[in-house]
Amino acid sequence: MRILITGGAGFIGSHLAERLLAEGHRVTVLDDLSTGRRENLAAMEGDERFALVEGDILDRALVQRLVAQADTVFHLAAAVGVKLIMEQPSRGILTNVGGTENVLLAAAQGGTPVYLASTSEVYGKAARFPFSEDDDLTIGATVNLRWSYASAKQLDEFLALALARERGLPVVILRFFNTTGPRQSGRYGMVLPNFVQAALEGRPLLVHGDGTQSRCFAHVADAVEALVRLMATPAAIGRVFNIGTDEEITIRALAERVIALTGSDSRIEHVPHEQIYPEGFEDMQRRVPDVSRLQRTIDFRPRLPLERIITDLIAEKRAGAKRAGAGA
């Protein structure tokens, strides 16, 4: 099968590309390399079944051409990360809405299946736990620009489901919950890579707020397994799925776990949110997915434990530091 992955040089996309190549598919990656990295694709260079197209999902003609050549599309390209969204909210809106529109309209022309990356952020300020795919969504005030990302992704979902109804577009919506693991960058506020890097360097681990806010972290290998199974499951078409684990941990406890597993002498420092983010930021106390629909549909749920995620990140960063030292 010919598969197009937008944002395929990114964290999740590069792991997905490797898996699909290993299963015998032809893979084309479209990425502008603004947040994705060419080195994420190094293992696939030279494979005749793999191609990297450096370009922008806002380039409608390019997107139409690549989608027309594909049998299936994984649309993962987006402006992501709370830090990036807070610093450049207009970029997030334009990329996440305009780029998705280009992909979906191109796919609708030929009825090409699209697996659309969304986010747990769409649940907003919902207070019913765990979050179920059919729950009502509650978004904060527009002056709090943190919610621009959630609203843009909600609009992406609405457009995808509208085209499914009106034009028969085969679409599956993927709401990712804190996917992490090797290759994830800490540049845009991703907590685990930042914690691990700080611990290995003996720097303080900066916990935003009081640290009692909790999240659920899924290994990227589990997320990719879910995507591959969904692609092979016709019953998934037209539905929304939470992609994540329901193993919950507070951010303070996460920092403590990282320090223990690295054997670091680092300390934990609490930093008020206003020292980190511009005005208009709100933090949510909990984010917990209901993954029962995913399990019923594909007989799988993310299950690799948090300790495995942390130890994989530690191993990756130590290997990177060793390579850097050898090249000095």
Is 266 within a domain?
Answer: no
Q: What is the total count of domains within the chain?
A: 1
The stretch 25-35 carries a mean pLDDT of 96
Q: Average pLDDT in the 194-217 region? A: 96
Kindly report the CA angle at 245 between 316 and 321, in degrees rounded to 5? 10
C-alpha 233 chain-centroid distance: 21
Report yes or no on 312 lying in a domain.
no
CATH number, domain containing residue 77: 3.40.50.720
Please check whether residue 164 lies inside any domain of the structure.
yes
Task: Give the residue numbers spanning the domain of 39.
Answer: 2-179+219-246+287-303
Task: Report the run of H or E that residue 20 belongs to, with start and end.
Answer: helix 11-22
For residue 190, being part of any structural domain is answered with no
Please provide the DSSP assignment of 213-274 as one string: -EEE-EEHHHHHHHHHHHHT-GGGTT-EEEES---EEEHHHHHHHHHHHHT----EEEE-GG
Confidence band (pLDDT; 50, 70, 90) for 284? confident
H-helix or E-strand containing 93?
A: helix 89-93
Do the domain assignments include residue 281?
Answer: no
Of all residues in the chain, the percent with pLDDT exceeding 70 is 95
Report whether pLDDT(80) > 80. no
Q: Which residues are catalytic?
A: 149
Query: In whole angstroms, what is the distance from residue 275 CA to residue 286 CA?
Result: 21
Q: What is the pLDDT of residue 328?
A: 54
The pLDDT value recorded for residue 186 is: 81
pLDDT mean across residues, the chain: 93
pTM value is: 0.95
In this prediction, residue 271 has a pLDDT band, given cuts at 50, 70 and 90, of: very high
Q: Are 22 and 43 in contact (CB under 8 A)?
A: no
* Residue 112 placed within a domain: yes
222: CB partners within 8 A, 6+ apart: 245, 302, 303, 304
pLDDT at 44: 97
Q: How confident is the model at residue 282 (pLDDT cuts 50, 70, 90)?
A: confident
User: What pLDDT does residue 86 have?
Assistant: 73
In a domain, 265, yes or no: no
pLDDT of 160 > 90? The answer is: yes
Is the pLDDT confidence value at 89 over 90? no
pLDDT given at position 82 = 66
What are the DSSP E strand ranges found in the chain? Answer: 2-6, 26-31, 50-54, 72-75, 114-119, 171-176, 179-180, 205-208, 214-216, 218-219, 240-243, 248-250, 268-271
Give the three-class secondary structure for 313: helix
**Over residues 292-306, mean pLDDT:** 97
| Range from 27-36, 186-195, 197-206 carrying the lowest mean pLDDT | 186-195
Mean pLDDT of 186-193: 84
Q: How far apart are the first and last CA of the chain?
A: 43
Q: Is residue 101 part of a domain?
A: yes
The yes-or-no verdict on residue 277 having pLDDT over 70 is no
Lowest mean pLDDT among 19-33, 129-143, 209-223, 314-328: 314-328
Out of 129-133, 170-174, 321-325, least confident range: 321-325
Instruction: Tell me the H-state helices in 121-250.
Output: 147-167, 191-201, 220-231
Q: Nearest 5°: phi and psi at 310?
A: -65, -45
